[in-house]
Amino acid sequence: MAPDAQRALITGGTGFLGGHLTQYLAGQGWEVTVGHLGKPVPSATVPGTRSIRLDVVDSSAVKRAVERWRPDVVYHLAGQAYIPPSWKDPASTFRTNFDGTRNVLDALAHRPRTSLGFAGSGTEYGAPKEVPTPETAELRPASPYAVSKACADLLCHQYFVSWGIPTYRFRIFGTTGPGKLGDACNDFARQIVAAESNGGSGTVRVGSLAPRRDISDVRDAVRAMVTIVERGTPGEAYNIGSGTARSIRSVLQGLRAQSLARIRVVDTSRLHRPADEPIHEGDITRLRRLGWRARCSWEETLASVLSWWRERPD
């Protein structure tokens, strides 16, 4: 690794966002330390990276990682990333998402030149009074997951005000892309590909198709995060999204349009959430002012998701 390369530490670096961010930064010449809790991606597959086991709930481990690798930027992506599990175990969700964020901030308290990019969520806004929703909107989270992210978001702001840590708060609306687990786009695609492999017909089980969500390609979201840290204002929150709300029904329709499979859609009660806001759409004016623009079309995103599952029929 080049001695003069910029250094990044990515918590949750082998997750969906983290994996794409690792590849992007390494491709830009960064020295990347990938913190993981589960199975790491072999460093050899992404030149310019190293993998370390890092549990953000362990404050001592976080401090050791920061002291040893001396990052210029910490991209804090580690956390419990899904809404449904947060209803079953809110305490664990808070421990990971809030306490883990506090541990990262504490580790940076003595490194005021290290920037922090925090992966928050558009769900922090809950059912917003204003759509598209600007960063100035009231936070009205409606799930334990969203509450944990809103609390961690505000903690980042407090550490900026109190200790001068340059924090950048990403309020990420929906992202999708090849291989994401737990989102409607990939769940639908997986079932459609299964139907293609089963004589060309099958069933797609769905929850509510009515909610409208702001969904962006993960590659665009990753570039947005890097753009915010490089050009944004420390202490500020930035929405990351496409700026367009699509119904979950239209996601399914878009995938079906790119497949010849005959699909029967079945509404499944267990896939419905206890609370599901009717619309999420971010006002991304603040992000666009930094010069960011989406590069991936919606049709390209859907095609890439279907292709990923077709290459993995098992």
Global pTM exceeds 0.85: yes
Check residue 97 and give left, alpha or beta (phi > 0: left; psi -120 to 50: alpha).
alpha
The pLDDT value recorded for residue 42 is: 52
* Runs of H (alpha helix) within the chain: 16-27, 59-69, 83-88, 90-94, 100-108, 144-163, 184-196, 218-231, 248-257, 285-288, 298-310
CATH 3.90.25.10 range(s) for the chain read 178-213+244-280+296-310
Q: How many Å apart are CA 90 and CA 47, to the nearest integer?
A: 38
**228-282 pLDDT per residue, tens:** 999 999 999 999 999 999 999 999 999 999 999 999 999 887 777 676 778 899 9
Cα–Cα–Cα angle for 93, 99, 100, rounded to 5 degrees: 85
Average pLDDT, the chain: 93
Q: Mean pLDDT, to the nearest integer, of 69-85?
A: 94
Residue 182 to residue 309: CA distance in whole angstroms: 14
Predicted confidence at residue 39, as pLDDT, reads: 65
CATH topology of domain 178-213+244-280+296-310: UDP-galactose 4-epimerase; domain 1 (3.90.25)
| CA distances (Å), origin 87, targets 77, 80, 171, 185, 274 | 21, 12, 21, 22, 9
Distance CA 145, CA 123 (A): 8
CB 185 within 8 A of CB 191: no
Report CA-CA distances (Å) from 100 to 93, 106, 223, 226.
10, 10, 24, 21
Percentage of the chain exceeding pLDDT 90: 85
Using CB atoms within 10 A of its CB, is residue 189 exposed (0-12), middle (13-18) or buried (19+)?
buried
Give the model confidence (pLDDT) of 81-113 as tens digits.
888 899 999 999 999 999 999 999 999 998 879
Mean pLDDT, residues 283-303 taken together:
98
Q: Which CATH architecture group holds 7-175+216-240?
A: 3-Layer(aba) Sandwich (3.40)
Tokens found for residue 2: 């080049």
CA dihedral 72, 74, 75, 77 (to 10 degrees): 170
In the chain, ranges of CATH 3.40.50.720 domains: 7-175+216-240
Instruction: Show Cβ contacts of residue 89 under 8 Å, excluding neighbours closer than 6 positions.
Output: none
